[in-house]
Amino acid sequence: QVKVVESGGDSVQAGGSLTLSCTTSIDILRSCRMAWYRQGLQRPGNERQLVANIKWDGTTDYHDSVKGRFTISQDKANNAIKLQMNNLTIDDTARYYCAGDRGQSYDGVWHSCRGHWGQGTQVTVSS
């Protein structure tokens, strides 16, 4: 049973925009901090980089390299999160993964999360 599913990856030219979507379950959204990671060959050691994350209460955080260009948001009615990506550059080329990666605290209550990852969606930016 797949619990996290990404979509929206595509090939675009530099300066273009894309919106990635991630559908999951309401239980995962309520329990887990939701995050977008990316992994691309241009990164040292090809490590997975945390791009943005959002908590159930709407608190967000971004990697410095995407601040002002990417926006993460929740679509609670559809059990989904989105990543709006504007002004894309070649360095944004990567496979993007959605994850419920850790527990979260809101309303004074800690919610645990076992970790849930999608299969990823490819974003390719060309000059």
Tell me the pLDDT tens digit for each residue of 3-62: 999 999 999 999 999 999 999 999 999 999 999 999 987 666 678 999 999 999 999 999
pLDDT of residue 94: 95
pLDDT on residue 47: 86
**Can you say how many angstroms the Cα of residue 118 is from the centroid of all Cα atoms in its chain?**
10
* CA–CA distance, 37 with 28 (Å, rounded to integer): 17
**Rg of the chain over CA atoms, in angstroms?**
14
DSSP class per residue in 36-56? EEEE-TTSGGG--EEEEEE-T
pLDDT reported for residue 44 = 67
Q: 1 vs 118, which has greater pLDDT? A: 118
Which tokens sit at 5?
């599913």
Residue 61: count of CB within 10 angstroms of its CB: 14
Find out whether 67 and 74 touch, Cβ atoms under 8 Å: no
Residue labelled with tokens 């675009």: 12
Residues 75-110 pLDDT 10s? 999 999 999 999 999 999 999 999 999 999 999 999
- Whole-angstrom CA distances from 69 to 10, 72, 80, 120 are 17, 10, 20, 20
Q: How many angstroms separate the CA atoms of 53 and 39, rounded?
A: 16
